[in-house]
Each structure stands twice: as C-alpha cells, then as structure tokens.
A and B are shown apart, each in its own frame.
Chain A
C-alpha cells in the first residue's frame, strides 16, 4: 500500500499535480457533509422510537471509532484505554448535571477533560511504544475505571444517573428526534474536522510516523510530539463522544469505562478498515447494529465478534472496505481481458 506521503512524493517527482480522474472528484469536506446531511434527513424517516435511539447510539460510536482511528489507523498506536477518555467525557457531563449548563458547553467541558487527561497520560507514557504502550493504556484505563468505585462522588456501581438532555436555542432535546438532529450536527461538524485533519500536513506527518518513525524524524518531524498530539486529539474527540453518550442515555455508568469497551472500539475500526476514512464509521455502525441484534438473540455476542475479528485480522487486515479495491481491481482486469 502506498501511503499518502509516498503518493505525494511520487506526484512531485513526476510533476503530476492532479490526475485527470482526481480533478472530477468531489471535495472531501463536501463529501463528508453530504453523507451526514443525507443520513440526517433519512434517519428520522426510517427509524422511530427505540430504533432511532439505536441509530443515535451508532452515530456516537461512529465519532468514538473515528477518534480511536486517529491513533490506530493514522499513527499506528494501539490503545486499549480509549474507554477512559470516552468515560471521562460522560462522567464530566454527569458531574455537571446539577449546574444545568447548556448541552454544548457540557460537550466543550467533556472534550477538554478528555483532551487534558489524554495529554497528561501521553506526556508521561511516551517513553514506551508499541505493545508496551498498548499495555500501559490498558493499565491506565483500568486504574481510571477503578477510581469510579473508589471516589464516592462518582457514584460507584450505580454511576451518575439523572442527566437531563437540556435545551439548545430554546428547543428541548428531550424527544429522540430533536436529539438525533443535535447528534447529527455535532458528529457531522467533527467528522468534517477529522477529514480536514487527515488531509492536512499534520495528518500526513502522522502517517509518516506510523510507517517509519526513523525516517519521519529524519524528515524533521518531531515523532514524540506527533504521537502526543495525536493522542490528545483522540482523547478530545472521545471526550465529546462520551459526553454525547451520557446526554443520550441520561446516565454515566461505570461499565462504559471497562477495558472491554476500549476493545470494542478497536473492533469497530478493524471491521471497517482502519486505513480508510470511512472504515471506522462503517465498522461502528455494523458493530452497534450487530451487537444489538446479537444481544437480543444470543447470550454471548462476544463469540461472534471474536470470530469476526479473527477473520479480519487473519485474512482481511484492511477490513471490509479493503474488499472494495480488491473487487474493483478484479473487475477492471476482467474488462481489460474482454476488450
């Protein structure tokens, strides 16, 4: 797979700026916005009641998966502790509930808490990388989740219930339909930000860090700083997703901080394909729907997710979206043979 950076290098070397095909491509920002608007409009038409609630949950997990993929897919950092930042966002909203702040302000605070926590962690933990770093994230996430049971203000087993959805610009978010629009707007804006980030110099530098840290630092990229910033960005976005989740559910409960949630978000990224923009989003939707369907029909959805993940890791490392270029390549080859 040629990376973005290599592609850019080749384009520079061959003097090509844009190929004929690329000139007709829709601008990335517009593409993301269009998808979000279409989904936003057809959502309440297709779903009502509990299925709309499920769709909103899926939407929030799309944001969570995209945030995790900044680490996993872009920077090559495996973190088994992302639930801590997601949970930090949720618990921030839970703690702020008595003050009755506007929902958007709650999101900002949740984002800030997620980002600060992630920044502190990555500043301290950046001495190790790879598998050791993954273990440290796991241990960090577990100790944060242990705190939930130790600090009485965090509610222990019962969590922080009674989070009101509040109102935005005078419109109450109480009904699932208005909350859907609110969630669409927030996740849509952030999805565009993530898309722009991916295409930016910063995004390219993360790819360089992922593919070859040594070469990246030789090119003048501060590898450690890039990793820290990536981790902070992921923590920030996870914080927003967690805050949204708490507003949707009306409760911040300790089970969202368990490391199995960090594992689930990794599964989402891998199902869809972590090296594409849409992969984690598609993975999150598939996972949420499958999880819902499986928990209605079987007592142990883990079995199926485990088997699915095994297949992905062993034969489809680029996820479901990795099938697209494979199939299209086969199609074009067939066309060439025919003509």
Chain B
C-alpha cells in the first residue's frame, strides 16, 4: 500500500485475428502498485489505450481468483508467469522489479489457435472430455451417496487430480504441445474411484485417441507441464494414464 509504484516495459503479442500476422508491440506502464495483480496491471494499460482511442489488448480472464481456468498468458517464457502454484490472475506485481521488461505472449500450440492478441481457442480440451471424461450416469435413479465406501486415500488422490482447471498451461509449457497432463488428470480422477472403474478401458482409449486427432504432440517426459501447472497436478498421473492405456490394450 505504501510501496513504490513500478515502471515497466511490456512487449505484448498483438494479432488482429486468427489469419492476421502477429507482432510484438512495446508499451510503457508507469506507477504500477506491487499489490495489484498481473491482470489488473493489464487493465490499467488498457484503460490508457482506450483513453487514446486505441484497441485494448485482448486477453482471456473471468473469475480472477484462480479457479475458472480462463486466464492464460505466457509471461517471460513461462505459462502464468514467474510464481509457482498460481494462475496469471493470482500473479502479483510484487514478483517484478521496477524497470523490468516483460514479454507477454499467448499459449502457443497447434491445437490452440490464436483468436486475437493473447486469446486462444482451447475448445480442443472440451472435445477431449466429450470423448469420455465422465461416468455414464443419467440424472436420477442412482444409489445413496454412502452406499459405496471409498478409501480416504483414494478419494484424496482423486481430488488431487480432479483439481485441474483446464487452463492449458501444461500444453503451453510442453515443447511438444502435449496434452498428456490434462488427459491424465481426468483419467486418474475417475480411475481412482469405483464409480469410474466400469468404463475405465473405453474412457482411456477414447480420450487418448481424441487427443491425438486434435493435433496435440507426444509426451517426452520433460516434466515441464508439472513444473508450470498452477494446480500442481503431478506427473505421476501421466504414469497412471500410461498404465491404464496399456491395460486397456492388453484387455
């Protein structure tokens, strides 16, 4: 609150639409409070652009509390910037120094085409879930919630995996633009619970094959996804995915 404001140079990727050629444009922002979030810093830049009758920088965002998964941004070469366990909306300017230059780019992956500036199309993630990321039950006619006891340990592990927010940082971080961490989180969540076991074989095959169709790359175990995941989803989920996949193939 008392802290001194930051003056920063921003190099931001501007691209008018999916077909246009993009480029970095340089902006200066002044007297940014270290207590504000990264997106609030961009809000302030946009306010000055609108005052000059220019088109503001487009970026995706919604809940601004790290849970909706809508915000993205590749900041100085890292998805969601230089803090761990946070999304861009939770990244605060106190992580930067006065005089810093910050490069801001969209997620870059074949499966995530740019819509405008920093906004990309992540509907490929929805399509992977649609392939089988669910338990096939209709509304109604299900047993009492306490009819199945589940080991706390498994419920907790399932919850760890289920925390994925579908932001796409794992794909952006991966040199192959692989979606393995995302897919493995959903496969693990359901494979760890009795409700998900019945369709486990079909699920893993359908989701992996949809992932391949959509143009995501292969996993080469660099672990970049785990390092950059804002929800700290573990790479062990990928091991579980591989195990589930092999088991499904072996019958």
* Binding between chains A and B: no
B-contacting residues of A (Cβ < 8 Å)?
none
